[in-house]
Chains A and B, each alone.
Chain A
Amino acid sequence: SQTIHQWPATLVQPVGSPLSLECTVEGTSNPNLYWYRQAAGRGLQLLFYSVGIGQISSEVPQNLSASRPQDRQFILSSKKLLLSDSGFYLCAWSVGVPNEQFFGPGTRLTVL
């Protein structure tokens, strides 16, 4: 069966520090991968998506970037965090039926 992992689970970072969040999927090949952000009490904002290794598309211009170095690995990064980057970051995958997305457990990021 397929599983999705995210780490770290929680992170507290100072403003201006770098960021690296990792997402890995097991039990499937060539998945579509997605990064979402969820601000407190709000909906899901799609940040990045990838249909293959090295293929990244951005939905919202910001100081975040994403990379897909391996088929089942998706990384979200920032060189300098802003206060507004705080939120709950979710990775999701889909395969076969592209619309059927499955979410990871999320990473809670607090920028102070």
Chain B
Amino acid sequence: QQQVKQSPQSLIVQKGGISIINCAYENTAFDYFPWYQQFPGKGPALLIAIRPDVSEKKEGRFTISFNKSAKQFSLHIMDSQPGDSATYFCAASNRGSTLGRLYFGRGTQLTVWP
């Protein structure tokens, strides 16, 4: 059972546009929601993360929006650039878990055209 559902699977955006990737979860015990960025042939890199006590977190051009009641969160990339072309993974976790297991979405391949 997929704990975190991510959409779309692929996304094509023009340079300067807004890229939006959505994720949904069911487990109400989840209280940590990171996003990872992965370039081809590289390991994923932690991009930005949010806790459910805030509805939005912004770092530069990247913003996470979080809707606790809907159990959904999304990544917005403003002014998308060709260098943002990568695969993005959302994840969810229970911070109370000593293991710290992350449940990942299946990923979104973003292509930004110049």
Contact = CB atoms under 8 A, between A and B. Distances in A.
Given A44-B89, A90-B44, A105-B42, A99 B104 contact: no
A101 B42 contact: no
Q: Is the interface of A mostly helix, strand, loop or mixed?
A: strand
A42 B106 contact: yes
A32 B97 CA distance: 12
Interface residues of B, number: 24
Nearest to B42: A105
A51 B101 CA distance: 11
Contacts of A90: 43-44
Interface residues of A, number: 22
B49 interface: yes
Given A43-B105, A97-B95, A103 B43 contact: yes
Interface string A27-65: 000001000000000111010010100000100000000
A19 B92 CA distance: 31
Contacts of B42: 105-106
A32 B107 contact: no
A43 B104 contact: yes
A73 to B, nearest CB: 18
Interface of A: 32, 42-44, 46, 49, 51, 57, 90, 92, 94, 97-106, 108
